[in-house]
Amino acid sequence: MDDRDSGAAAERGTAAGAGGDVVEAADHGATRVLALNRPAARNAIDIPMRLRLLDELRRAADDPAVRAIVLTGAGGTFSAGGDLRSMEGAGPDEVRERLAPVHRAVRIIATCGTPVIAAVEGAAAGLGVSVAAACDHVVAAEDARFVAAFGKVGLVADGGLLWTLPQRVGMGRAKEMLVFGRTVPAARACEIGLADSLAPPGGALDAALELAAGAASLAPLAVAAAKRLLARADHSLKRLLEAEREEQAALFGTADFAEGRAAFAERRAPRFEGR
């Protein structure tokens, strides 16, 4: 199944949120905000939302004018996770089909050259935690909570959470959530590394936008190289050093590096163009 072709048709067949789209996109300067928009379903991620999210992530990641991406949820909830009602009667082939766009979306979040920030209000549950944990930075409202109790519905964690969560919090704490089903409040999430910063209730998006503006001011090619190298951090040191050498060699020839050197010497803010 090609999710690019099927996404629009699937979306037309499902009721969306109040704004009309299951994922709403809006630009704030150089930041693209993508909001999961099924508030009546607590932004549960059904098939149309998966396909639309993948499409919007591709658009944002491929747009040189977009220097940062913020993922959030409408209606005071990040996401209740996968839409269980849409899973009834699904066989193995349907399950694989459901996971394909999610896996592609998570790979884009984790490896694209654009910084991706999650702004979490309310609950991030199940697949919602997976999406947030794949981001480069997670801003959590102080009253937010994270729960990945897939075992309560008879499933194993998906959306790459078995890879991203141990990297963020360590194996023991990952087991607290994935094996024992423990709910993690925002303060604890920030303490263990599941979230990276806290914001007042209702203020996660504003805090994420402020952080995104700072990220957008950095040299985009250098940021992209850092993300590519970090995505390889599970490989051997030898391979990482080889990849680092090639990335750095390429960056030395860019106009952004020349501008960065000039701005440093002239004690002014650099004006990066991504070339």
Same domain, 196 and 233: no
Q: Is the same domain home to 262 and 135?
A: no
- In the chain, the number of structural domains is 2
Confidence class of residue 96 from pLDDT cuts 50, 70 and 90?
A: confident
Average the pLDDT over 233-257 and give the result: 75
Shared domain check, 188 and 117: yes
- CA distances (Å), origin 254, targets 112, 216, 247: 19, 18, 11
- One domain for residues 94 and 107: yes
Cross-strand pairs, 184:
146
**Same structural domain, 124 and 242:** no
Q: Is the pLDDT assigned to residue 222 strictly greater than 50?
A: yes
* Same domain for 161 and 25: yes
Q: Is residue 103 part of a domain?
A: yes
The dihedrals phi and psi of 68, each to the nearest 5 degrees, come to -155, 150
CATH assignment of the domain containing 95:
3.90.226.10
pLDDT in tens, 12-53: 333 344 446 999 999 999 999 999 999 999 999 999 999 999
Whether 85 and 170 share a structural domain: yes
**pLDDT score for 187:** 98
Mark whether 96 and 148 lie in a shared domain: yes
pLDDT digits (tens, 9 = 90+) for 102-129: 999 999 999 999 999 999 999 999 999 9
| 31 & 122 share domain | yes
Name the pLDDT band for 245 (thresholds 50, 70, 90): confident
Q: Is the pLDDT of residue 221 over 50?
A: yes
Rounded to an integer, what distance in angstroms lies between the CA atom of residue 197 and that of residue 22? 27
Mean pLDDT of 73-95: 85
Same domain, 126 and 190: yes
Record the pTM.
0.86
Residues 239 and 182 in one domain: no
- Domain co-membership, 250 together with 179: no
Q: Which domain holds residue 250?
A: 220-266
